[in-house]
A and B are shown apart, each in its own frame.
Chain A
């Protein structure tokens, strides 16, 4: 088990290095740097001025060296200018002598955002906290309902209930977030069409709409009114997939020998499902739920943009759309880490849960 873990961790670190290098290369392409120089320096700079601005700010070094500096395994660049030493690690208020030699991601120096004019670490932690709440509610809503849907459908394969629930599962997987979000807003958060005007007329709801079409106010206070739709939108898309996996796993378990034995012994159907089938049927969905995280990340980006909720996904879009290199890089690191860690957890969890695949 230990060797397996070490090998997995080694591959994970290698993957993370490769991926961050690719992202670093793609964000530091020449046109992007030129745009950065013009936006940070002056729009009317000549090409020579752009080149000298880039050279003065350490962007003229080879790509590998800059990657090393950014990562924090190579000393940051320094340069003598007007009798003072300036450099990557020398920020305002720190003299060259006190400044650390290394300042990269590994040292916790995530750089500064050019769009928000604030440290990236601060923006990211705020965004991640906001997204954390979103994910928490999505999980609370999605996992139990998906498992319930899958177990109910897979309990009796081919029954009417199975057909109906499978149709629901297929329909939700066929509806990406930007479609379901749009339809949900039109139906539930519009004061002119959908069900809100009807409900308001009957006096069933306080305000004019059942839900709010934007989740900006949820940054301060989460309520059912402003947070219901974003959570529902993400949960719907992921739910269908998990439900289908659970159903497949449940139908497989229900045809197993020991279930037949239990039935023949005279154990009731309810008892068989709850005590014998459920535990084994839930092994496969566990992996699926874990592997669902990268997909949820997609959903988060779409939904946060659609509902204007300023979390991690929204930050990523802002960084990418405004050529904010440091911010985009940091977002990528976080995204890649989330994907890799969940993959690792899913592997370990699978081996741990399933006694047939214990690795030794």
Chain B
């Protein structure tokens, strides 16, 4: 068989992505129909930039979700004779798909399938790590901004300490095989992962403080689920074996949360410092509301605009950080199809066979660009009211 040209490669890729197109069309149709009832999310569809950004982000989200349907070959399988072959090369008879759509890499694996599977890796870690960083940043930033004083000075000093570290140096110190033996990642995980539990418990406790029976139920359920997940994720000691994280992944996850949390802390603290002098806070204090109720149920909802925008930007930044880790070969298994390590693998033969590195590079770039555009659209729309 002859190698196929770029026209048919693109057409075949478009066909391969059919579940994504279908899901995107459904999402857009539903969202645009009901956009007046969907709050800030609905308003996103008034801004062209936001819509494009949302489209790109959802494209990758659906790609990650339907990755098993989209891939043409096993991302780890090697087909002999297809090492470094250019896009559109036909595969031997009896393979799962007649072509390597985007060529083969230096181990004769399918670049296209690896790129698609890489999306799953990235989108499984980046949003979760960002969410954890936000929980830590919010739980510490709210009291620092609200109470100020010594607490603020101490926490700010710690945050600045972490921020003064060049990120790459921190990664080289925190994400190494040796450090796993010393147990430092587990200690860090134990500290960082408890914050979401604290956050949820305080959130519910302050809300339902006046209705003890409800409060006890909600806080109890949160504590059980939270500590259950906590034991599994941080210590790998879940008695039922539902929650677990392999040590490699835990190491990467903890490092990324650790790098991101201080910045979130600074943003939240700044917002709270600004908002706490508002009248509605004074009104709450006069009504006798507790400090945590005011922080979590009065100030936080009013700070949501900038926080949502920063959340989008930060997922993009976390994606970049994960790519950096992969690029330096830190904390990922060598077989892993994630974009950073694929770029790293491909860069050695870059000027002769560019496609194995350029494909994941473009994928990563488009995802981050989508997130940036989405953040821009959200910022524009949230400023309107």
Contacts and interface: CB of A to CB of B under 8 A. Distances in A.
A173 interface: yes
B343 A335 contact: no
A189 B168 CA distance: 27
A179 B343 contact: yes
Contacts of B165: 19, 336, 339
B226 interface: no
Contact of B354 (A179, A193, A320): A193
A185 B350 contact: yes
Contacts of A321: 172
A175 B365 contact: yes
B30 interface: no
A15 B161 contact: yes
B172 A343 contact: no
B173 A27 contact: yes
B357 A186 contact: yes
B169 A316 contact: yes
Interface in B171-188: 172-174, 178-179, 181-182, 184
Contacts of B184: 26, 29
Given A29-B179, A171-B369, A176-B324, A343 B164 contact: yes
B351 A190 contact: yes
A11 B158 CA distance: 12
By secondary structure, the A interface counts as helix
A33 to B, nearest CB: 10
Contacts of B369: 170-171, 174-175
A108 interface: no
A22 B170 CA distance: 10
Contacts of A19: 161, 164-165
A307 to B, nearest CB: 10
A340 B164 contact: yes
A27 B172 CA distance: 10
B361 A183 contact: yes
A68 interface: no
Contact of A185 (B173, B351, B365): B351
Interface in A9-58: 11, 15, 18-19, 22-23, 26-27, 29-32, 35
B94 to A, nearest CB: 31
A332 interface: yes
B231 to A, nearest CB: 26
A15 B365 contact: no
Contacts of A182: 343, 346-347, 350, 354, 357-358, 361
Nearest to A12: B164
Contacts of A191: 351
Interface in A288-324: 294, 297-298, 301-302, 305-306, 313, 316-317, 320-321
Interface string B208-244: 0000000000000000000000000000000000000
Contacts of A225: none
B316 interface: yes
B63 interface: no
B164 A317 contact: no
Contacts of A31: 178-179, 181-182
B89 interface: no
Contacts of A339: 164-166
A174 B354 contact: no
Contacts of B160: 15
B352 A192 contact: yes
A30 B369 CA distance: 42
B357 to A, nearest CB: 5
B167 interface: yes
Contacts of B364: 176, 179
Given A298-B168, A336-B164, A336-B165, A174 B350 contact: no
A213 B365 contact: no
Contacts of A209: 351
A179 B346 CA distance: 12
Given A186-B350, A191-B351, A335 B362 contact: no
Given A15-B164, A340-B164, A174 B178 contact: no
Nearest to A237: B320
Contacts of B351: 185-186, 189-192, 209, 213
Interface string B226-267: 000000000000000000000000000000000000000000
B376 interface: yes
Contacts of B168: 297-298, 301-302, 313, 316
Contacts of A27: 173
B327 A178 contact: yes
Nearest to B373: A170
Given A15-B160, A176-B320, A193-B354, A317 B328 contact: yes
A35 to B, nearest CB: 7
Nearest to B316: A174
Nearest to A343: B164
B323 A176 contact: yes
Contacts of B182: 29-31
Interface in A133-187: 170-171, 173-176, 178-179, 182-183, 185-186
A331 interface: yes
Nearest to B326: A178
A172 to B, nearest CB: 10
B173 A23 contact: yes
A44 B183 CA distance: 26
Nearest to B167: A298
Contact of A179 (B166, B173, B178, B323): B323
B104 interface: no
Nearest to B363: A179
B262 to A, nearest CB: 13
A11 B351 CA distance: 48
Given A19-B161, A191-B351, A174 B368 contact: yes
Contacts of B350: 182, 185-186, 190, 213
Most central of A35, A179, A336 by chain B CB within 10 Å: A179
8 contacts: A19-B164, A19-B165, A175-B368, A176-B364, A182-B346, A183-B362, A185-B350, A190-B354
Given A31-B181, A182-B350, 16 more contacts: A15-B161, A19-B164, A31-B178, A31-B179, A174-B369, A183-B358, A185-B350, A193-B354, A294-B166, A298-B166, A313-B168, A328-B172, A332-B169, A336-B165, A339-B165, A339-B166
Interface of B: 157, 160-161, 164-169, 172-174, 178-179, 181-182, 184, 316, 320, 323-324, 327-328, 340, 343-344, 346-347, 350-352, 354, 357-358, 361-362, 364-365, 368-369, 371-373, 376
**Chain A to chain B: the 7 pairs with minimum beta-carbon distance, closest first:** A186-B354, A320-B172, A31-B178, A174-B369, A174-B368, A26-B173, A179-B361
